[in-house]
Amino acid sequence: MPADPHDPLRRYWHPVAWSHDVSGGPKPVPLLGERLVVWRDGDGTVRCFDDLCIHRGTALSLGEVVDGCLVCPYHGWRFDRAGACVHIPQFAPDARIPSTAAARSHRCEEAAGLVWVALDEPVAPIPTFPEWDDPAYRHVPCPDYTWATSAPRMVENFTDFGHLGWLHDGLLGSRDALEVPSHRVRQEGLELHYEITMQVPNTNDRFAVTDLSGNRGLQTNTYVLTLPHTIWLRCTYHDTGAHRTLFFSARPDSATSSTGFCYQSRDFALDDDDAPYAAFQDLLAEQDRVVIESQRPEELPVDVSAELHLPFDRVAVAYRRGLAGIG
């Protein structure tokens, strides 16, 4: 299905790549059904173009960066940071290059170690990661993962408290304590705020990522869901007052495919190995993936009457209504 030029999601910032993955050569990325390419110019600034040469439709991501310009692999045309074609090798040196020989560029920024793109004039800022510049925290970028589902389905998973103890038994909860504690959700502009306090297992015999003294401990999870596709979660351990923070944002590759970018951050055990934090998140994501990819329809129904909701689904209901509001 071709990209929808009127899709309201075009007016929001979306993460498209890790900053460290955009280095020497151009990198292809999908977004909202479009093929894009991100690359760094001569100053090291990240740029984003349509992944398409206007001449013969070639993918510019197959090319290279030379003297701060993106070079098409087919005929060697060079495009500067703004997308203007500045060199056509097949022309005589004094030939005039038509202004129509240009690559379409898009708004592109870097924040929190990610490259963000907005296809149209954005109506909101890039979602914030409050701990990003806090020296008390250590940040672990997890492997990004692509699922065969929509970005809202992927994000709504973070609003679902009912599955924590069942699907993630022994990791985020336990099957002998499935009752969802009372909680509320409030909307402030494009943000949904909600919080829950629950007993969580000590996972340190498998993954050294918790700061608990016993087999279980009390943990308060504080969430901010920034519409349309970003989650900030701060886990506070009552035993110690320490925090483990998750920052997650989904890239809507298409209507039925999405890619998640995630940090596991902490303000304790700063000298310990980072690998368990990434491995822990990877296991959780894989457990979720199998279930979320099975959901139908792949696109999240924003009509709350389309699926059955119970009182412990109140955050999911608020999320769907929020999406309907921006749509």
Is the same domain home to 218 and 89?
no
Q: Is residue 130 part of a domain?
A: no
Is the same domain home to 109 and 190?
no
For 12, 223, 257, 264, 283, the CA distances from 129, given in Å and listed in that order, are 16, 12, 24, 12, 23
Which of 84, 118, 152 is where one domain is finished?
Answer: 118
Q: Is residue 197 part of a domain?
A: yes
| Mean pLDDT along residues 214-237 | 97
Is the same domain home to 151 and 98?
no
- 5 confidence band (pLDDT: 50, 70, 90): confident
For 11, 90, 159, 267, the CA distances from 6, given in Å and listed in that order, are 10, 37, 28, 42
For 113, 172, 230, the CA distances from 225, given in Å and listed in that order, are 19, 19, 6
* Burial classification of residue 10, based on how many CB atoms lie within 10 Å of its CB (0-12 exposed, 13-18 middle, 19 or more buried): buried
Is the same domain home to 182 and 107?
no
pLDDT of residue 182: 92
Q: How large a percentage of the chain has pLDDT more than 90?
A: 97
pLDDT of residue 1: 53
CATH at 161 = 3.90.380.10
Is the same domain home to 316 and 214?
yes
Which of 71, 88, 118 is where one domain is finished?
Answer: 118
Q: Is residue 261 part of a domain?
A: yes
Q: Is residue 3 part of a domain?
A: no
Is the same domain home to 87 and 236?
no
Is the same domain home to 110 and 155?
no
Is the same domain home to 81 and 195?
no
pLDDT of residue 209: 96
Residue 222, domain extent: 138-326
Is the same domain home to 101 and 143?
no
Q: Is residue 226 part of a domain?
A: yes
244, 209 contact by CB (below 8 A):
yes
Is the same domain home to 290 and 186?
yes
Q: Is residue 269 part of a domain?
A: yes
The pLDDT tens digits for 81-133 are: 999 999 999 999 999 999 999 999 999 999 999 999 999 999 999 999 999 99
Q: Is residue 124 part of a domain?
A: no
Which of 61, 88, 118 is where one domain is finished?
Answer: 118
Is the same domain home to 147 and 111?
no
Burial per residue of 132-142, b for 16 or more beta-carbon CB atoms within 10 angstroms, e otherwise: eeeeebbbbbb
Q: Full-prediction pTM beyond 0.75?
A: yes
Please report the beta strands in 148-305, taking only residues with DSSP state E, as ranges in sequence order: 185-188, 191-201, 216-226, 230-237, 243-254, 257-266
Q: Count up the domains in the chain and report the number.
A: 2
pLDDT of residue 24: 82
- 2 confidence band (pLDDT: 50, 70, 90): low
Is the same domain home to 104 and 75?
yes
CATH at 59 = 2.102.10.10
pLDDT of residue 327: 81
